[in-house]
Structure 1
């Protein structure tokens, strides 16, 4: 494997998310958050994370751990960014905050109720009304689930503040693309890349919908209560299968068939990304630079640097 191939393989370990007026980047050594403060400075916060145990990296097991970590550290990054935007530079640690853990738990419960159970209830009602087959019921459930996601993303994307978050989302994707391509990690180097990325969390949502439709179609339960209970019990399996499918599609994007099959994941990101300006790219690059620095100097830090 050539040097460019090695760079691309190492870069696959980087990802992130948008936060309020900023970007969080996670690398193999830890996470870094960069936020544009009201005075124009870029406030940085980085944290080293312990490496996962070997068994936590096994295929079909790693997806569940990664999903929880994404929720946990993503919530902390959002709180940190909110504090910076409000004029503060500190954020309480998620692991030390019962309120934060309660917020995550409540958010998960609400998401499960709306995203997982509501479509099943709607499909069940239509099946009984028109005496449809179980296969049609499962198909309707998937359609309702997709409709909920699309409707929600389209609705929230109309809010001006959310549009700015979506633009930072695009900036995060651009700088990760630049890293993977071995391009200069500068505003000029990142600007030409697309705002969509195969490993995006939005792509994960669509993958979950597809995998759920296939997985749930083969459940043996006959009553509504049994079906709902099985859906909840199989959540770790659903997360694991969806993560592996997304990882495979991102890893083999150079294969035409894989790229074609994963194209809807990229199309959906038109709802969750916007074209960033150069100031947003500067913030995303600062987060990426701080995350990469953790590989050679694994120490948590927090500071601000003037914008250029």
Structure 2
């Protein structure tokens, strides 16, 4: 585990960090105290062939991120109210993930594919149809982020997102994990999930352009079937860019994702960085 790449996620007034065997969620409670909860990570996911096979492990990582993310959000939300024991059950987590996946499929598969299909009479070229579909998909993605960013509560989450990145940078630089040291680093990180999603959006344009013309329902089914492949390729690209972020070509490749993170991260205050440090220290070896 010496080369384990730590990562995390911003939650409600806190940060979740994922370690080799467990995750830790650090949350600032309304009374200003910091509470940290550690939870084991499903052993089958770490040991399974799914997480050891290139391309396929991207699907496993996506499942892992969804499950851990919902659990972390559930815990962080429970710390902001009076009933601290009220957290989602396994069934409720499964239902939440299913709803999230259906909503994502509708927004980023059904809507763009339908829009491009409706204008095929005016855009008969199949490649141009697929290009238009990709433009609509990226437009929906940006609109979603911009709308979310207008919410005050999300602004706070974006600050914790920036705190998570700063602390990961400090850890990877090998410096002591203090608030002052972490604050010296940028809020952008090449392995961020925001960059991963942008990779997915762009790769969909390339992969979907290879598909034949078909009825709308078949187009949607084809695209849904290819999502694991696109996610897998994107995952490998993110891992590669995280290993060699300073290389010239790699730097150019990851720049759009870093620019996009300016929308999904904000400069955190010292207290938010302190929370992120607590989360990483709880799982760091």
TM-score of Structure 1 vs Structure 2, range by shorter chain: over 0.9
Partner of 1:70: 65
CA offset digits 1:39-61 (Å, max 9, x no partner):
11101001222261252222111
Residues 44 and 287 in structure 1, CA contact (< 8 A), matched pair in contact too: yes
Point out where structure 1 has 5 or more consecutive residues left out of the alignment.
1-5, 296-308
Corresponding residue SS for 1:43:
strand
- Deviation of 1:259 after TM superposition, in Å, equals 0.6
Corresponding residue SS for 1:34:
strand
Which of 246, 259, 265 matches 2:257?
A: 265
Q: Report the RMSD for the aligned CA atoms in angstroms.
A: 1.6
C-alpha distance in 1 between matches for 2:256 and 2:214: 32
Alignment of 1:118 onto 2:126: no
Point out where structure 2 has 5 or more consecutive residues left out of the alignment.
none
Which of 88, 98, 103 matches 1:105?
A: 98
Corresponding residue SS for 2:119:
helix
Partner of 1:226: 218
Deviates more, 1:57-66 or 1:264-273: 57-66
C-alpha distance in 2 between matches for 1:284 and 1:57: 29
- Which structure is higher in RCO with an 8 Å CA cutoff and minimum separation 6? 1
Residues 38 and 87 in structure 1, CA contact (< 8 A), matched pair in contact too: no
Corresponding residue SS for 1:109:
helix
Alignment of 1:79 onto 2:74: yes
Partner of 2:269: 277
Partner of 2:46: 52
Within a 5 Å distance, the mapping from 1:38-187 to structure 2 comes to 38-49=30-41, 50=43, 52-53=46-47, 55=49, 56-90=51-85, 92=87, 96-128=89-121, 130-187=122-179
Deviates more, 1:275-284 or 1:53-62: 53-62
Residues 117 and 216 in structure 2, CA contact (< 8 A), matched pair in contact too: yes
Aligned length: 282
Which of 189, 211, 225 matches 1:197?
A: 189
Partner of 1:3: none
Residues 37 and 87 in structure 1, CA contact (< 8 A), matched pair in contact too: no
Q: Give the TM-score taking structure 2 as reference length.
A: 0.94
Partner of 2:279: 287
Corresponding residue SS for 2:264:
coil
Q: Give the TM-score taking structure 1 as reference length.
A: 0.88
Moved over 3 A (4+): 87-92
C-alpha distance in 1 between matches for 2:215 and 2:237: 30
Corresponding residue SS for 1:271:
helix
C-alpha distance in 1 between matches for 2:141 and 2:182: 29
C-alpha distance in 1 between matches for 2:128 and 2:165: 37
Give the direction of change, closer, same or farther, for the CA distance of 1:240–1:197 in structure 2 (3 Å limit).
Answer: same
Corresponding residue SS for 2:246:
coil
C-alpha distance in 2 between matches for 1:214 and 1:208: 10
Corresponding residue SS for 1:234:
helix
CA offset digits 1:113-169 (Å, max 9, x no partner):
1111110110111222x1331111111111111111111111111111110000000
